[in-house]
Amino acid sequence: MKNNSGEDVFRISESGEGVTFSLHVQPKACRNEICGLSGNELKVRLTSPPVEGAANKLCQEFFAKLLHVAKSNVRIIAGEKSRHKTVSIQGTTKEEVLALLKNPSRSSE
C-alpha cells in the first residue's frame, strides 16, 4: 500500500496486549538487522538459514532482544514456512516498533 505521495506504508496494528505486523525475511545474511521497508512489510535480514525453523527461532530472539520483551512474547502467527511472515509481539507498543525504523543503529546486532 502506498500513501498519497507514493511512498510505501508500513502496516502495524496495536491492541491492548501488543502489536502485529508483517515481515519480509531474508535468511542467510551476514548479520541480523532491520533494513527498512519492502512494500508494506518490515524487511529483516537474519544470519540463520531457513531450515528446520532456525530462521523463525532467530527472528523471535532478534525481536525479543530489540524490544526488550521475553522470547515467549514474540510469536509468528502466519508464514512460518515463507519469507513473508506476520508476527505478534506482546508487551510493546507501535511507537517502539516504529522507532526501530527511525534509528537503524539500534536495529542490528
CATH number at residue 97: 3.30.1200.10
- Give the pLDDT confidence of 20-41 residue by residue, as tens digits: 999 999 999 999 999 988 889 9
SS (H, E, C) 27-52: CCCCCCEEEEEECCEEEEECCCCCCC
C-alpha cell at 6: 507514493
- Give the pLDDT confidence of 53-75 residue by residue, as tens digits: 999 999 999 999 999 999 999 99
Q: What is the pLDDT of residue 3?
A: 43
How would you classify residue 36: left for phi > 0, otherwise alpha for psi between -120 and 50, otherwise beta? left
Residue 19 is assigned to a structural domain of this protein: yes
Residue 4 is assigned to a structural domain of this protein: no
Q: Which domain holds residue 83?
A: 12-103
Number of domains in the chain: 1
Residue 3 is assigned to a structural domain of this protein: no
Q: Which residues lie below 8 Å from residue 26, measured CB to CB, with a gap of 6+?
A: 43, 44, 45, 46, 83
Q: pTM, whole model, 2 decimals?
A: 0.86
Residue 6 is assigned to a structural domain of this protein: no
